[in-house]
Amino acid sequence: MSKELKTGFVAVVIVVLFIWGYNYLKGENLLTPNQRHFYVEYNNIQGLKKASSITINGLQVGKVTDITFNSDPEKRGKLVVELLIEDDFEFSKKSIAKIYSASLMGGQSLAIIPSYEGEVAVSGDYLKGEVESDIFSSVGEKLNPLQAKLENVIVSADSLFLGLNQTLDVRARKSLNNSIIDLEFTISDIRKTMKSVNQLLDSSKIGIKNTFDNTRVITKNLAQLSDTLVNANMGEMVKKAQRSLDYVNVLMEGVQNGEGTLGKLVKDDAMYNNLTSMSKELEELIREMKLNPKRFVHFSLFGKRAVPYDPEKNKANEETNN
């Protein structure tokens, strides 16, 4: 191979490498087939930069190659973002290119939300663009209505106080001031009362302590009494009391059934009548002995014969005595 041919070959290689490197720096890899370019129009790109990654369903499929202002006078101020897709994954023109915050530090990325309805998107087509609100924007959007309501409340309160100030006359203001002064005096009296109570408690600490000590001693004595009752064989005492009650129950049951002397006296009418008759006859006998003792006792110092008992005469004597 001649020297000239070698020089020409080296020059061609250098030119090819230069072209490839230039395109690679632009984000285009000439060695990668199926590269497609898409364009998206935004009002605000939220800090999206060139070389930002592009993902589909979380998989990186390309990057942003260029960001320029739209040259159309009717769309002045709008931004056109050029997307390079290095994957042959097909999606329709209805797909959405959404800018989102990839991290809390503010880095922006772009995700294509694929749609499979309609005509398939080809290189050079425009896609619909959307911008996802970051966390700070979301918080701001939620706080804005609250801020507006808070401002309305403050304005209403200010109007209320202004109207109240205009409504109150001098006399009413004076009464209000007097009420505030009375409230201050009341608070002062309460403080003095609390101070007196604290002093009283301080002076009564010893008495309160003695009271608690006495209460502790009483509690201890009650515990000892309880232990004494527990150790006194209460079970045996209860059993003996139960046996005594059972005996009384048997005795009372016998009385109710007419058993024994007491039972017959309670239940037997004949015995009751006999006792009543006997008592009556005994009473008559005692009365007879008082009225006619000679009938029952014969005593004579000189041996005189006793006069025989005459019922008729005795009856007459009784009537005379009565």
**Ramachandran class of 46: left when φ > 0, alpha when ψ lies in -120 to 50, beta otherwise:** left
Give the model confidence (pLDDT) of 129-169 as tens digits.
Answer: 999 876 555 555 666 777 778 888 888 887 777 776 666 66
Is it the case that residue 287 has pLDDT exceeding 90? no
Give the model confidence (pLDDT) of 88-121 as tens digits.
Answer: 889 999 999 999 987 766 678 999 999 999 899 9
Is it the case that residue 277 has pLDDT exceeding 90? no
Is it the case that residue 214 has pLDDT exceeding 80? yes
pTM: 0.38
Instruction: Report domain extents, the chain.
Output: 32-132, 269-317
At residue 122 the predicted structure's pLDDT band, cuts being 50, 70 and 90, is very high
Mean pLDDT of the chain: 78
Enumerate the β-bridge partners of residue 100. Answer: 109
Residue, of 24 and 98, whose pLDDT is higher: 98
The pLDDT of 199-212, averaged and rounded, is 80
Q: Which tokens hold the place of 110?
A: 């772009």
Give the model confidence (pLDDT) of 56-94 as tens digits.
Answer: 998 999 999 999 999 888 888 899 999 999 888 899 999
Q: Which tokens hold the place of 185?
A: 């005096």
